[in-house]
Amino acid sequence: MEITAWEIMDHTLLKKILLVLFCTFLFWKIIRYMCGLLKVDKEPVTVLVTGAAGQIGYALVPMIARGLMLGSNQPVILHMLDIEPAAESLKGVKMELIDAAFPLLRGVVATTDVVEACKDVNIAVMLGGFPRKEGMERKDVMSKNVSIYKAQASALEEHAAADCKVLVVANPANTNALILKEFAPSIPEKNITCLTRLDHNRALGQISEKLNVHVSDVKNVIIWGNHSSTQYPDVNHAVVTTSNGHKPVRELVADDNWLNTEFITTVQERGGAIIKARKLSSALSAASAACDHIRDWVLGTPKGTWVSMGVYSDGCYGIQSGLIYSFPVTCDKGEWNIVQGLKIDEFSREKMDKTAQELIQEKKLAMSCL
Ligand SMILES: NC(=O)C1=CN([C@@H]2O[C@H](COP(=O)(O)OP(=O)(O)OC[C@H]3O[C@@H](n4cnc5c(N)ncnc54)[C@H](O)[C@@H]3O)[C@@H](O)[C@H]2O)C=CC1
Ligand SMILES: O=C([O-])CC(=O)C(=O)O
């Protein structure tokens, strides 16, 4: 068969067109594959917030959904628990979370069922509890919280993820955390903590105001002990970053009398001062501190910096083991470790022991309510 010149040219053209189409297709496939490799969409982390219809809850859940707790590339699923009388209000919070269209928020559960709330939870922030009311004895409040924390400990133990990290905020925070630990024996004791980061941040704030320096330049204050007015805010190891390196806070403040009296009582009594001013307890700063606590625990503390966390004591610094006591800690790869070897002077020793004594009494009271 005879092939004309036109037909030969036509063939070549056709081949070229096919080749271009094939190359475009291949290029597109490669680009899609590379995009897949670079994709940063992680598995969502499930975060439980109990008492979520309350005022800290209302400040905290949008922070979590915005990535302030676990990072700006970490999707989250929120589980919110409250009690029946707050169910309608909780529903409203869920509606607002949907309306806010948070890109990281991959699901919201709002429930009054503790089992549903605890299911597959990776992080639990416990805000729910029974507040002290007029005319109530400490023992009455303790007894109500012991039963709440006992029940929630069992639900977490049975239904949460095996490596669930717990942060107790509700007061009495240290002792509620201790009860939770007692009744959730299969959750590792290192995974149960309480919030003293608010007190830590308050101490940083006071030093920053006194020295007129940026708060992010102040570091390594310590809150020892109970989240109560016996806590000991300690600046003996705290420093300020200056253009000439780190300078001790004591040297810069140059007023030991202020540091040993007014500074300590201001931090110890700050919660009460906020209640007096707002007629409500601290909520935005408590929510922010809860985010700081979990973020540093999960993602790590910056090099050379420690933070304060209420953790299970092992006897170090002469603090009786078996209490949830606030210590200076560093965090790495999801684990906290108490900063060791800090020098403790006589003034500090006395204050650290006083707050430990209060925790021993609270523990006794809690155990008597069981
Ligand atoms: N550790 C810290 O630094 C701080 C601790 N707190 C404490 O945090 C807690 C929460 O404070 P707010 O949000 O201001 O209180 P709030 O009274 O506004 O909210 C508490 C919420 O817990 C709910 N609740 C009560 N019993 C519950 C249960 N068994 N299960 C689930 N939810 C339950 C209530 O219905 C309410 O919605 C309080 O105990 C407060 O004293 C407050 C500030 C700082
Ligand atoms: O007593 C309260 O509810 C408030 C509180 O713990 C604080 O602000 O430190």
Domain residues of the chain, as ranges?
45-194, 197-368
Query: How much is the average pLDDT of 298-313?
Result: 98
Using left for φ > 0, alpha for ψ between -120 and 50, and beta otherwise, residue 120 falls in left
Residue 306 CA to ligand 1 centre (angstroms): 27
Of the candidates 295, 290, 332, 298, the one whose C-alpha atom is nearest the C-alpha of residue 201 is: 290
Distance CA 210, CA 267 (A): 13
Q: Regarding beta strands 239-242 and 245-248, do their DSSP bridges make them parallel or antiparallel, or are they unpaired?
A: antiparallel
Instruction: Report pLDDT for 25.
Output: 79
Instruction: Report pLDDT for 27.
Output: 78
Buried b (16+ CB within 10 A) or exposed e, 258-292: ebeeebbebbbebbeebeeeeeebbbebbbbbbbb
Q: Map residue 280 onto helix, strand or coil.
A: coil
Residue 86 Cα: closest atom of ligand 1:
35
Instruction: Report pLDDT for 21.
Output: 84
**Least confident segment among 14-28, 86-100, 194-208, 312-326:** 14-28
Instruction: Report pLDDT for 36.
Output: 52
Longest dimension (CA), the chain: 111
Instruction: Report pLDDT for 14.
Output: 78
With cut-offs at 50, 70 and 90, classify the pLDDT of residue 9: low
Q: Which amino acid would we find at residue 195?
A: L
Mutate to test the pocket of ligand 1, among 49, 61, 111, 127 (most ligand atoms within 8 A of CB): 127
Using left for φ > 0, alpha for ψ between -120 and 50, and beta otherwise, residue 355 falls in alpha
Query: How much is the average pLDDT of 320-343?
Result: 98
Residue 286 Cα: closest atom of ligand 2:
8
With cut-offs at 50, 70 and 90, classify the pLDDT of residue 23: confident
With cut-offs at 50, 70 and 90, classify the pLDDT of residue 137: confident
Q: Which residue has the higher pLDDT, 11 or 2?
A: 11
Long-range contacts of the stretch 290-293 (C-beta < 8 A, 24+): 290/56, 290/60, 290/69, 290/125, 290/167, 290/169, 290/195, 290/197, 291/60, 291/63, 291/64, 291/68, 291/69, 292/197, 292/201, 293/167, 293/193, 293/195, 293/197
Instruction: Report pLDDT for 22.
Output: 82
Element of type H or E holding 104:
none
Beta carbon of 170 within 6 Å of any ligand 1 atom: yes
The annotated binding site for NAD(+) is made up of 51-57, 82, 145, 169-171
Tokens of 263: 């500074």
CB 366 within 8 A of CB 146: yes
Mutate to test the pocket of ligand 2, among 196, 223, 230, 282 (most ligand atoms within 8 A of CB): 282
Q: Which residue has the higher pLDDT, 32 or 188?
A: 188
Residue 54 CA to ligand 1 centre (angstroms): 6
Per CATH, 45-194 and 197-368 having the same topology is answered no
* pLDDT over 80 at 136, yes or no: no
Tokens of 234: 């300690």
Query: How much is the average pLDDT of 61-75?
Result: 98
Query: How much is the average pLDDT of 247-269?
Result: 98
> Hey, what CATH topology would domain 197-368 get?
L-2-Hydroxyisocaproate Dehydrogenase; Chain A, domain 2 (3.90.110)
Q: Which residues are catalytic?
A: 227
- Considering the domain 45-194 in this protein, what is its CATH number? 3.40.50.720
Instruction: Report pLDDT for 10.
Output: 63
The residues near 136 (Cβ < 8 Å, ≥ 6 apart) are none
Residue 283 CA to ligand 1 centre (angstroms): 10
pLDDT (tens digit per residue) in 225-250: 999 999 999 999 999 999 999 999 99
Distance CA 233, CA 90 (A): 36
Using left for φ > 0, alpha for ψ between -120 and 50, and beta otherwise, residue 155 falls in alpha
Residue 272 CA to ligand 2 centre (angstroms): 7
* pLDDT over 60 at 84, yes or no: yes
Provide the Cα torsion 247, 251, 253, 255; round to 10°. Answer: 170
Q: Average model confidence (pLDDT) for the chain?
A: 93
Share of the chain above pLDDT 90, in %: 85
* pLDDT over 90 at 261, yes or no: yes
Distance CA 167, CA 121 (A): 13
Beta carbon of 128 within 6 Å of any ligand 1 atom: yes
